[in-house]
Amino acid sequence: MSRRPAASDGASVARLRYRLGRRFALRDLSLRLEGADRAWGVTLPADPDAPLDQMAARQKLRPPADAQAPPDALPNENDSARRSGTRARAAAVARATVAGGAHLPYWALLWPSGLALAEALLADPACAQGKRALELGCGLGVTAAVALVLGARLTISDLFDDALLFAEYNTRRCAGQAPATLLLNWRTPAGRERLLSAAPFDLLLAADVLYEPEDLEPLLALAPALLAPGAPFWLAEPGRKASRAFVATALARGWRDQPGVAERAWPPDGDVTRVVVHRFTLPGEVNG
C-alpha cells in the first residue's frame, strides 16, 4: 500500500483528526526541539499502550499476573514504557509476536531516538534540503515533520497503518504537508523489494529500529542498496544490544561514521536517555 501526499488544508487535517479519534483517545503535546524556532504540536494516543491492547485483543491473549518480558522484546530499562504498569500484558504479547516473527507496536510513544534524530537534522539543515529521503519506521512523524520543513522530498515507511496515519496528521500540522507513505515491513523480502523499487535515495533515516539480532543482516544489506553513491545513512539508537552489534559490524565492513551523542531529559516524561546519532557513509564499492 502506498499513499502519495496531497496538499494540506484545514479540511484534510480535520478529516485525519476524525479518523484518529475513531481509533484512539488522543493526547496533544507542545513539543520543544533544540534548534527549532517554535514549538511543534504533536498528537499521539492518550494511552500509549492502546495499540498493544488492540494487538492483545486480536490475539486473544490473557497474560498471567507475574509474566516477565523477554530481555530484548521491550524498550530498555531507561525508557518510560518499560516502567509502565503494563509489563505483564506487554510480555505476553511480546512472546507471541516475536516468536511469530512479528514486531510490537512501539510507534505510539515519543521515543528519545526519534527526537534526537529530528534535532540532529535541525542542526544540519543542508543534509535534508532538496534531498530524496526515506525514513524506515516513522513512529509519530516528528522526524518526518522536521525533514519536510527542511525541504526533503520524503517517503516514510512503517509496518503499522496507524503509525502512518498519525505521521501524516502530525506532518500536515507541523510542516503543512505530508510525505509519501509505504505500508511495509523492511525486515521481510517483500518489504525490501518494494523499497528497492523506489531507490535510490539521497538520505536514509531511521530511529530506534533495531531490537532483535535477526534485524542486523537485513538492514546491513538494505541500507547500501537503497542509497545513491556517497549518500548518508543517519541512524539514531539508545544503546540496545542489537544496535551496538549493528554499529560494530557496519564499522568492520568499512562503513564510516561521524556519531553525535545527545544525553538529556527527553519529553514528554523527562526520562534521561543517552542517544547516539550515527552519520554513516558507506564505502563506494558498497553503494555503487
CB of 235 within 8 A of CB of 216? no
Domain-by-domain residue ranges, the chain? 108-287
Please write the tens of the pLDDT for every residue from 184-232. 999 999 999 999 999 999 999 999 999 999 999 999 999 999 999 999 9
* C-alpha to C-alpha distances, 23 to 20, 67, 136, 226, 251, nearest whole angstrom: 5, 28, 23, 33, 42
User: What is the CATH number that goes with domain 108-287?
Assistant: 3.40.50.150
pLDDT at 208: 95
Q: Which cell is 128 given?
A: 535534508
Rounded-to-integer distance, Cα 184 and Cα 191, Å: 5
Q: How far is CA 45 from the centre of its chain?
A: 16
In the predicted model, is pLDDT for residue 77 greater than 60? no
CA-closest candidate to residue 167, choices 190, 189, 195, 145: 145
Confidence of residue 99 (pLDDT cuts 50, 70, 90): very low
Closest CA to 106 of 245, 270, 240: 240
Amino acid, res. 219: L
**Is pLDDT of 76 > 70?**
no
pLDDT (0 to 100) of residue 55: 75
For residues 180 and 99, the model is more confident at: 180
In angstroms, how far apart are the furthest CA atoms of the chain? Answer: 53
